[in-house]
A and B are shown apart, each in its own frame.
Chain A
Protein backbone atom coordinates (compact mmCIF):
# COMPACT_ATOMS: atom_id res chain seq x y z
CA UNK A 1 0.00 0.00 0.00
CA UNK A 2 2.77 2.36 0.95
CA UNK A 3 4.61 1.64 -2.32
CA UNK A 4 1.40 2.24 -4.28
CA UNK A 5 1.07 5.67 -2.73
CA UNK A 6 4.73 6.24 -3.43
CA UNK A 7 4.08 5.43 -7.08
CA UNK A 8 0.77 7.20 -7.58
CA UNK A 9 1.71 10.48 -5.94
CA UNK A 10 3.49 11.50 -9.14
CA UNK A 11 0.29 11.60 -11.16
CA UNK A 12 -1.91 14.15 -9.42
CA UNK A 13 -0.94 14.87 -5.82
CA UNK A 14 2.75 15.65 -6.38
CA UNK A 15 2.74 15.82 -10.16
CA UNK A 16 6.10 17.33 -11.18
CA UNK A 17 4.52 19.77 -13.62
CA UNK A 18 1.08 20.51 -12.18
CA UNK A 19 1.92 20.53 -8.47
CA UNK A 20 5.68 20.85 -7.96
CA UNK A 21 6.39 23.03 -11.04
CA UNK A 22 9.67 21.23 -11.67
CA UNK A 23 11.22 20.82 -15.10
CA UNK A 24 9.14 23.52 -16.74
CA UNK A 25 11.78 24.35 -19.34
CA UNK A 26 11.42 21.11 -21.33
CA UNK A 27 7.71 21.11 -20.50
CA UNK A 28 7.12 24.38 -22.28
CA UNK A 29 9.64 23.89 -25.04
CA UNK A 30 8.94 20.42 -26.46
CA UNK A 31 5.18 20.06 -26.09
CA UNK A 32 4.17 21.21 -29.57
CA UNK A 33 2.63 17.78 -30.15
CA UNK A 34 1.51 14.89 -27.99
CA UNK A 35 4.17 12.67 -29.54
CA UNK A 36 6.99 15.04 -28.62
CA UNK A 37 5.65 15.31 -25.09
CA UNK A 38 5.41 11.54 -24.72
CA UNK A 39 8.94 11.02 -26.10
CA UNK A 40 10.47 13.61 -23.81
CA UNK A 41 8.48 12.25 -20.85
CA UNK A 42 9.65 8.69 -21.41
CA UNK A 43 13.28 9.75 -21.90
CA UNK A 44 13.09 11.68 -18.63
CA UNK A 45 11.45 8.69 -16.92
CA UNK A 46 14.34 6.48 -17.93
CA UNK A 47 16.92 8.96 -16.64
CA UNK A 48 14.94 9.49 -13.44
CA UNK A 49 14.61 5.78 -12.64
CA UNK A 50 18.26 5.04 -13.41
CA UNK A 51 19.66 8.02 -11.51
CA UNK A 52 17.38 7.33 -8.53
CA UNK A 53 18.57 3.73 -8.53
CA UNK A 54 22.27 4.62 -8.65
CA UNK A 55 22.00 7.47 -6.16
CA UNK A 56 20.18 5.27 -3.70
CA UNK A 57 22.84 2.53 -4.06
CA UNK A 58 25.77 4.85 -3.49
CA UNK A 59 24.09 7.18 -0.99
CA UNK A 60 26.07 5.85 1.98
CA UNK A 61 29.43 6.14 0.21
CA UNK A 62 29.18 9.81 -0.71
CA UNK A 63 30.51 12.52 1.59
CA UNK A 64 27.75 15.06 2.19
CA UNK A 65 29.65 18.02 0.83
CA UNK A 66 30.18 16.58 -2.64
CA UNK A 67 26.80 14.90 -3.04
CA UNK A 68 25.40 17.42 -5.54
CA UNK A 69 28.38 17.17 -7.98
CA UNK A 70 28.18 13.40 -7.69
CA UNK A 71 24.46 13.39 -8.50
CA UNK A 72 25.03 15.66 -11.48
CA UNK A 73 27.73 13.37 -12.86
CA UNK A 74 25.42 10.37 -12.49
CA UNK A 75 22.51 12.19 -14.14
CA UNK A 76 24.62 13.63 -16.96
CA UNK A 77 26.00 10.17 -17.73
CA UNK A 78 22.53 8.69 -18.08
CA UNK A 79 21.37 11.61 -20.21
CA UNK A 80 24.33 11.18 -22.56
CA UNK A 81 23.53 7.49 -22.73
CA UNK A 82 19.91 8.22 -23.64
CA UNK A 83 21.08 10.66 -26.28
CA UNK A 84 23.44 8.18 -27.92
CA UNK A 85 20.97 5.31 -27.70
CA UNK A 86 18.06 7.24 -29.22
CA UNK A 87 20.28 8.57 -31.98
CA UNK A 88 21.41 5.06 -32.79
CA UNK A 89 18.17 3.12 -32.52
CA UNK A 90 15.25 5.59 -32.82
CA UNK A 91 16.64 8.26 -35.19
CA UNK A 92 13.17 9.66 -35.93
CA UNK A 93 12.52 10.45 -32.29
CA UNK A 94 16.05 11.77 -31.91
CA UNK A 95 15.42 14.21 -34.73
CA UNK A 96 12.39 15.57 -32.90
CA UNK A 97 13.92 15.71 -29.45
CA UNK A 98 17.57 16.12 -30.39
CA UNK A 99 18.33 19.46 -28.87
CA UNK A 100 16.07 18.93 -25.87
CA UNK A 101 17.60 15.71 -24.60
CA UNK A 102 20.68 17.46 -23.14
CA UNK A 103 18.20 19.67 -21.26
CA UNK A 104 17.25 16.71 -19.08
CA UNK A 105 20.57 17.26 -17.26
CA UNK A 106 19.39 20.58 -15.93
CA UNK A 107 15.84 19.37 -15.32
CA UNK A 108 15.39 20.14 -11.63
CA UNK A 109 13.00 17.22 -11.40
CA UNK A 110 15.81 14.68 -11.79
CA UNK A 111 18.21 16.36 -9.39
CA UNK A 112 15.30 17.15 -7.06
CA UNK A 113 14.26 13.51 -6.74
CA UNK A 114 17.88 12.41 -6.22
CA UNK A 115 18.37 14.95 -3.46
CA UNK A 116 14.95 14.84 -1.83
CA UNK A 117 14.07 11.18 -2.18
CA UNK A 118 16.69 8.75 -3.44
CA UNK A 119 19.46 9.91 -1.12
CA UNK A 120 17.21 9.25 1.87
CA UNK A 121 15.32 6.08 0.92
CA UNK A 122 16.00 2.46 0.07
CA UNK A 123 16.64 1.21 -3.45
CA UNK A 124 13.20 -0.23 -4.17
CA UNK A 125 11.29 2.85 -2.97
CA UNK A 126 13.62 5.04 -5.04
CA UNK A 127 12.93 3.11 -8.22
CA UNK A 128 9.18 3.28 -7.57
CA UNK A 129 9.44 7.00 -6.86
CA UNK A 130 11.40 7.59 -10.06
CA UNK A 131 8.91 5.55 -12.08
CA UNK A 132 5.88 7.31 -10.62
CA UNK A 133 7.34 10.78 -10.94
CA UNK A 134 8.65 10.07 -14.44
CA UNK A 135 5.34 8.71 -15.69
CA UNK A 136 3.50 11.59 -14.04
CA UNK A 137 5.83 13.94 -15.88
CA UNK A 138 5.28 12.05 -19.15
CA UNK A 139 1.51 12.20 -18.62
CA UNK A 140 1.59 15.94 -17.97
CA UNK A 141 3.73 16.56 -21.08
CA UNK A 142 1.51 14.37 -23.25
CA UNK A 143 -1.68 16.11 -22.08
CA UNK A 144 -0.14 19.54 -22.60
CA UNK A 145 1.19 18.47 -26.00
CA UNK A 146 -2.22 17.10 -27.00
CA UNK A 147 -4.04 20.30 -25.99
CA UNK A 148 -1.57 22.49 -27.89
CA UNK A 149 -1.58 20.25 -30.93
CA UNK A 150 -5.36 19.97 -31.13
CA UNK A 151 -5.94 23.71 -30.69
CA UNK A 152 -2.95 24.82 -32.70
CA UNK A 153 -2.56 22.43 -35.62
CA UNK A 154 -5.89 20.59 -35.62
CA UNK A 155 -4.33 17.18 -35.37
CA UNK A 156 -3.46 14.64 -32.73
CA UNK A 157 -0.34 12.49 -33.01
CA UNK A 158 0.48 10.10 -30.21
CA UNK A 159 2.48 7.64 -32.30
CA UNK A 160 3.06 8.74 -35.92
CA UNK A 161 1.20 6.58 -38.46
CA UNK A 162 -0.40 4.47 -35.71
CA UNK A 163 -2.38 6.83 -33.49
CA UNK A 164 -2.67 9.88 -35.66
CA UNK A 165 -5.83 11.90 -36.37
CA UNK A 166 -6.56 15.03 -38.31
CA UNK A 167 -9.42 16.81 -36.57
CA UNK A 168 -9.86 19.69 -38.95
CA UNK A 169 -8.11 21.10 -41.99
CA UNK A 170 -6.33 24.39 -42.23
CA UNK A 171 -4.65 26.48 -39.58
CA UNK A 172 -5.73 26.24 -35.98
CA UNK A 173 -5.10 28.82 -33.31
CA UNK A 174 -1.42 29.14 -34.08
CA UNK A 175 -0.66 30.88 -30.82
CA UNK A 176 -1.00 27.54 -29.05
CA UNK A 177 1.88 26.04 -31.02
CA UNK A 178 4.05 29.05 -30.27
CA UNK A 179 5.65 29.84 -26.93
CA UNK A 180 2.88 32.04 -25.45
CA UNK A 181 0.37 29.25 -26.06
CA UNK A 182 2.50 26.92 -23.98
CA UNK A 183 2.14 29.23 -20.98
CA UNK A 184 -1.59 29.72 -21.58
CA UNK A 185 -2.34 26.04 -21.95
CA UNK A 186 -0.14 25.14 -18.99
CA UNK A 187 -1.89 27.73 -16.81
CA UNK A 188 -5.34 26.32 -17.51
CA UNK A 189 -4.15 22.74 -17.10
CA UNK A 190 -2.63 23.59 -13.71
CA UNK A 191 -5.97 25.06 -12.69
CA UNK A 192 -7.81 21.89 -13.72
CA UNK A 193 -5.26 19.64 -12.02
CA UNK A 194 -5.60 21.68 -8.85
CA UNK A 195 -9.39 21.32 -8.86
CA UNK A 196 -8.98 17.58 -9.39
CA UNK A 197 -6.46 17.36 -6.56
CA UNK A 198 -8.78 19.15 -4.15
CA UNK A 199 -11.58 16.72 -5.01
CA UNK A 200 -9.39 13.68 -4.52
CA UNK A 201 -7.53 14.55 -1.33
Chain B
Protein backbone atom coordinates (compact mmCIF):
# COMPACT_ATOMS: atom_id res chain seq x y z
CA UNK B 1 0.00 0.00 0.00
CA UNK B 2 2.28 2.67 -1.26
CA UNK B 3 -0.10 5.59 -1.44
CA UNK B 4 -0.80 7.71 1.56
CA UNK B 5 -4.37 7.75 2.85
CA UNK B 6 -5.11 11.43 2.46
CA UNK B 7 -8.66 12.57 1.85
CA UNK B 8 -8.05 13.60 -1.77
CA UNK B 9 -6.25 10.37 -2.51
CA UNK B 10 -9.03 8.23 -1.15
CA UNK B 11 -11.82 10.11 -2.90
CA UNK B 12 -9.95 10.13 -6.16
CA UNK B 13 -9.11 6.42 -5.98
CA UNK B 14 -12.65 5.34 -5.21
CA UNK B 15 -13.99 7.62 -7.91
CA UNK B 16 -11.66 6.22 -10.55
CA UNK B 17 -12.22 2.61 -9.52
CA UNK B 18 -16.00 2.89 -9.56
CA UNK B 19 -15.87 4.80 -12.83
CA UNK B 20 -13.81 2.07 -14.47
CA UNK B 21 -16.06 -0.62 -13.01
CA UNK B 22 -19.31 0.98 -14.21
CA UNK B 23 -17.87 1.67 -17.67
CA UNK B 24 -16.87 -1.98 -18.05
CA UNK B 25 -20.22 -3.21 -16.78
CA UNK B 26 -22.07 -0.90 -19.15
CA UNK B 27 -20.08 -2.32 -22.04
CA UNK B 28 -20.76 -5.93 -21.00
CA UNK B 29 -24.44 -5.10 -20.54
CA UNK B 30 -24.68 -3.79 -24.10
CA UNK B 31 -22.85 -6.88 -25.29
CA UNK B 32 -25.10 -9.38 -23.54
CA UNK B 33 -28.43 -7.56 -23.81
CA UNK B 34 -29.50 -9.22 -27.02
CA UNK B 35 -28.33 -12.77 -26.26
CA UNK B 36 -30.10 -12.56 -22.89
CA UNK B 37 -33.36 -11.41 -24.47
CA UNK B 38 -33.03 -14.13 -27.10
CA UNK B 39 -32.37 -16.82 -24.50
CA UNK B 40 -35.42 -15.71 -22.50
CA UNK B 41 -37.63 -15.66 -25.58
CA UNK B 42 -36.38 -19.07 -26.70
CA UNK B 43 -37.15 -20.46 -23.27
CA UNK B 44 -40.67 -19.02 -23.33
CA UNK B 45 -41.35 -20.30 -26.82
CA UNK B 46 -40.08 -23.74 -25.91
CA UNK B 47 -42.42 -23.78 -22.90
CA UNK B 48 -45.39 -22.69 -25.02
CA UNK B 49 -44.61 -25.34 -27.63
CA UNK B 50 -44.48 -27.96 -24.91
CA UNK B 51 -47.95 -27.27 -23.53
CA UNK B 52 -50.24 -26.53 -26.49
CA UNK B 53 -51.17 -28.49 -29.64
CA UNK B 54 -49.25 -27.75 -32.81
CA UNK B 55 -49.63 -24.20 -34.02
CA UNK B 56 -48.45 -22.03 -36.89
CA UNK B 57 -48.79 -18.50 -35.54
CA UNK B 58 -46.54 -16.50 -33.22
CA UNK B 59 -48.28 -16.77 -29.83
CA UNK B 60 -45.82 -14.30 -28.41
CA UNK B 61 -47.00 -11.52 -30.71
CA UNK B 62 -50.67 -12.10 -29.94
CA UNK B 63 -50.14 -12.31 -26.21
CA UNK B 64 -52.51 -10.34 -23.98
CA UNK B 65 -52.93 -9.94 -20.27
CA UNK B 66 -55.80 -10.94 -18.04
CA UNK B 67 -56.34 -9.95 -14.47
CA UNK B 68 -57.04 -12.82 -12.06
CA UNK B 69 -57.41 -12.34 -8.33
CA UNK B 70 -55.45 -9.12 -8.41
CA UNK B 71 -52.55 -10.53 -10.43
CA UNK B 72 -51.89 -10.19 -14.10
CA UNK B 73 -51.43 -13.39 -16.09
CA UNK B 74 -50.36 -13.52 -19.71
CA UNK B 75 -52.27 -15.51 -22.31
CA UNK B 76 -50.57 -16.77 -25.46
CA UNK B 77 -53.14 -17.86 -28.06
CA UNK B 78 -52.04 -20.66 -30.39
CA UNK B 79 -53.61 -20.84 -33.84
CA UNK B 80 -53.21 -23.16 -36.77
CA UNK B 81 -54.11 -21.41 -40.01
CA UNK B 82 -56.19 -18.80 -38.14
CA UNK B 83 -58.14 -21.44 -36.27
CA UNK B 84 -57.68 -21.37 -32.52
CA UNK B 85 -56.19 -24.67 -31.33
CA UNK B 86 -55.44 -23.68 -27.77
CA UNK B 87 -53.73 -21.19 -25.51
CA UNK B 88 -50.78 -21.20 -23.20
CA UNK B 89 -51.12 -19.25 -19.98
CA UNK B 90 -48.21 -18.17 -17.91
CA UNK B 91 -49.44 -18.44 -14.34
CA UNK B 92 -47.90 -18.41 -10.90
CA UNK B 93 -48.61 -18.84 -7.23
CA UNK B 94 -46.84 -17.70 -4.10
CA UNK B 95 -48.09 -20.60 -2.03
CA UNK B 96 -45.25 -23.00 -2.78
CA UNK B 97 -43.27 -24.51 0.04
CA UNK B 98 -40.48 -22.08 -0.84
CA UNK B 99 -42.62 -19.32 -2.30
CA UNK B 100 -42.99 -18.62 -5.96
CA UNK B 101 -43.89 -21.32 -8.46
CA UNK B 102 -44.24 -20.24 -12.08
CA UNK B 103 -46.00 -22.55 -14.52
CA UNK B 104 -47.04 -22.52 -18.18
CA UNK B 105 -50.46 -24.11 -18.57
CA UNK B 106 -51.65 -25.13 -22.02
CA UNK B 107 -55.35 -25.48 -22.85
CA UNK B 108 -56.98 -26.99 -25.89
CA UNK B 109 -59.55 -24.82 -27.64
CA UNK B 110 -62.36 -26.76 -25.89
CA UNK B 111 -61.03 -25.85 -22.43
CA UNK B 112 -59.36 -29.13 -21.50
CA UNK B 113 -55.81 -28.99 -20.21
CA UNK B 114 -53.32 -30.05 -22.85
CA UNK B 115 -50.23 -30.05 -20.69
CA UNK B 116 -48.55 -28.13 -17.88
CA UNK B 117 -44.90 -27.34 -17.37
CA UNK B 118 -43.02 -25.61 -14.56
CA UNK B 119 -41.01 -22.56 -15.51
CA UNK B 120 -39.54 -21.65 -12.16
CA UNK B 121 -39.65 -23.04 -8.65
CA UNK B 122 -37.55 -23.43 -5.50
CA UNK B 123 -39.27 -26.51 -4.08
CA UNK B 124 -37.32 -29.00 -1.99
CA UNK B 125 -35.07 -31.21 -4.14
CA UNK B 126 -36.24 -34.82 -4.00
CA UNK B 127 -39.69 -33.96 -2.65
CA UNK B 128 -41.51 -30.91 -3.99
CA UNK B 129 -39.40 -30.70 -7.12
CA UNK B 130 -41.37 -33.65 -8.50
CA UNK B 131 -43.76 -31.04 -9.88
CA UNK B 132 -41.07 -30.59 -12.52
CA UNK B 133 -41.59 -32.75 -15.62
CA UNK B 134 -37.88 -33.56 -15.68
CA UNK B 135 -38.06 -35.12 -12.22
CA UNK B 136 -41.30 -37.11 -12.33
CA UNK B 137 -44.38 -37.58 -14.49
CA UNK B 138 -46.70 -36.45 -11.69
CA UNK B 139 -47.85 -33.39 -13.64
CA UNK B 140 -49.11 -35.58 -16.50
CA UNK B 141 -52.25 -36.39 -14.51
CA UNK B 142 -53.60 -32.98 -15.53
CA UNK B 143 -53.37 -33.75 -19.24
CA UNK B 144 -56.74 -34.04 -20.95
CA UNK B 145 -58.70 -33.02 -17.85
CA UNK B 146 -61.41 -30.38 -18.00
CA UNK B 147 -61.11 -28.08 -14.95
CA UNK B 148 -64.92 -27.82 -14.83
CA UNK B 149 -65.33 -31.55 -14.09
CA UNK B 150 -61.94 -32.11 -12.56
CA UNK B 151 -61.65 -30.39 -9.19
CA UNK B 152 -58.25 -28.69 -9.13
CA UNK B 153 -57.50 -29.48 -5.52
CA UNK B 154 -55.59 -32.31 -3.89
CA UNK B 155 -57.63 -35.29 -2.68
CA UNK B 156 -56.93 -34.36 0.92
CA UNK B 157 -58.85 -31.09 0.33
CA UNK B 158 -61.71 -32.83 -1.46
CA UNK B 159 -60.40 -32.40 -4.99
CA UNK B 160 -59.40 -34.86 -7.70
CA UNK B 161 -55.64 -34.40 -7.80
CA UNK B 162 -53.26 -37.03 -6.42
CA UNK B 163 -50.77 -35.11 -4.30
CA UNK B 164 -47.07 -35.93 -4.36
CA UNK B 165 -46.15 -38.08 -1.37
CA UNK B 166 -44.56 -35.90 1.33
CA UNK B 167 -45.10 -32.75 -0.74
CA UNK B 168 -48.74 -31.82 -0.23
CA UNK B 169 -47.96 -28.13 0.03
CA UNK B 170 -46.13 -28.08 -3.29
CA UNK B 171 -48.97 -30.05 -4.91
CA UNK B 172 -51.55 -27.64 -3.49
CA UNK B 173 -49.63 -24.65 -4.79
CA UNK B 174 -49.32 -26.25 -8.20
CA UNK B 175 -53.08 -26.83 -8.34
CA UNK B 176 -53.60 -23.22 -7.32
CA UNK B 177 -51.42 -21.98 -10.18
CA UNK B 178 -53.27 -24.20 -12.67
CA UNK B 179 -56.66 -23.11 -11.32
CA UNK B 180 -55.70 -19.46 -11.75
CA UNK B 181 -54.57 -20.18 -15.30
CA UNK B 182 -57.99 -21.69 -16.01
CA UNK B 183 -59.69 -18.55 -14.69
CA UNK B 184 -57.52 -16.48 -17.00
CA UNK B 185 -58.43 -18.80 -19.88
CA UNK B 186 -62.16 -18.40 -19.18
CA UNK B 187 -61.86 -14.65 -18.72
CA UNK B 188 -59.76 -14.30 -21.86
CA UNK B 189 -62.80 -15.53 -23.85
CA UNK B 190 -60.71 -16.84 -26.72
CA UNK B 191 -62.49 -17.81 -29.91
Contacts and interface: CB of A to CB of B under 8 A. Distances in A.
Chain A interface bracket (under 10, 10 to 19, 20 to 34, 35 or more): 20 to 34
Contact of A69 (B9, B14, B39): B14
A166 interface: no
Contacts of B14: 66, 69-70, 73
Interface string B1-44: 11111100110011001100100110011011001100110110
Which of A58, A81, A119 has the most CB atoms of chain B within a 10 A radius of its CB? A81
A74 interface: yes
Given A77-B21, A88-B36, A178-B125, 5 more contacts: A63-B9, A63-B10, A84-B36, A152-B125, A174-B127
Nearest to B34: A88
Interface of B: 1-6, 9-10, 13-14, 17-18, 21, 24-25, 28-29, 31-32, 35-36, 39-40, 42-43, 124-127
A118 B17 CA distance: 17
Interface in A141-197: 152-153, 171-172, 174, 177-178
B16 to A, nearest CB: 9
Given A88-B36, A152-B126, A178-B124, A81 B24 contact: yes
Interface in A59-103: 59-67, 69-70, 73-74, 76-77, 80-81, 84-85, 87-89, 91
Contacts of A32: 125
A61 B13 contact: yes
Nearest to B37: A88
18 contacts: A60-B1, A60-B3, A61-B3, A63-B4, A63-B9, A64-B3, A66-B5, A66-B10, A66-B14, A76-B21, A77-B24, A81-B24, A84-B29, A84-B36, A85-B32, A91-B39, A177-B124, A177-B126
